[in-house]
Amino acid sequence: MQTNKTRVSPTLPARERILLTAHELFYRDGIRATGIDRVIAESGVTKVTFYRHFPSKNDLICEFLEFRHRRWMEWFVDALQRHGENLNALLPALSEWFNDGSFRGCAFINSVGELGAVLPEVVEISRRHKQEMMEVIGQLLPPSRHRADDAQAVAMAVDGAIIRAQFDQSPERALHVLNRLLKALLTK
């Protein structure tokens, strides 16, 4: 557990600061590994303020996931657009993410692994996230009879690549292997 004081901008409203701090700590260190006290200290609010916004840690966890979902989807859609908005955009987009120094896998996969058995809401939110990710991927594919099926296959390959990138030191192999998988899938 690091002790970095990574204060968020103190001009933001309290709720925003808490959410940003929780996002960073939960994603980086894990959810159960992060105490509420730490979130409170690093977001620079007091306990009362915190508990007025989030009645319990579970509430914060859910809001964190919703926040992460919005943020990640925005980035994803934007990155795909920037890279051409077709299937070839997928690799460079993911490469951005995997190469970001703070990358530590998919927050939803991690959360379900950590809390899925104990907090059903986590699974539900995460399912929605993967569903939306898949839909966005689907829009990269040319319309056809089996576009939906293809989107599922690509999304599954992407999840595999996320795991791979999280396990390896460098994301290169993950991207390379994903590329193989995508090529095989489309020139079929």
Interface residues with DNA (CB under 7 A) are 13-15, 34-38, 44-49, 51-53, 55-58
Residue 4 — φ and ψ, nearest 5°?
A: -45, 125
CB of 16 or CB of 66, closer to DNA? 16
CB of 5 or CB of 11, closer to its own copies? 5
| 145 touches, from its own copies, DNA, none (C-beta below 5 to 8 Å by class) | none
Under 8 Å CB-to-CB from 146, ≥6 apart: which residues? none
Chain position carrying tokens 């993950």: 174
| 95 touches, from its own copies, DNA, none (C-beta below 5 to 8 Å by class) | none
CB of 112 to DNA, least distance (A): 19
CB of 167 to its own copies, least distance (A): 5
| 178 touches, from its own copies, DNA, none (C-beta below 5 to 8 Å by class) | its own copies
Closest C-alpha to 92, from 79, 108, 75, 74: 79
In one-letter notation, the amino acid at residue 82 is R
Closest C-alpha to 163, from 172, 177, 174, 154: 174
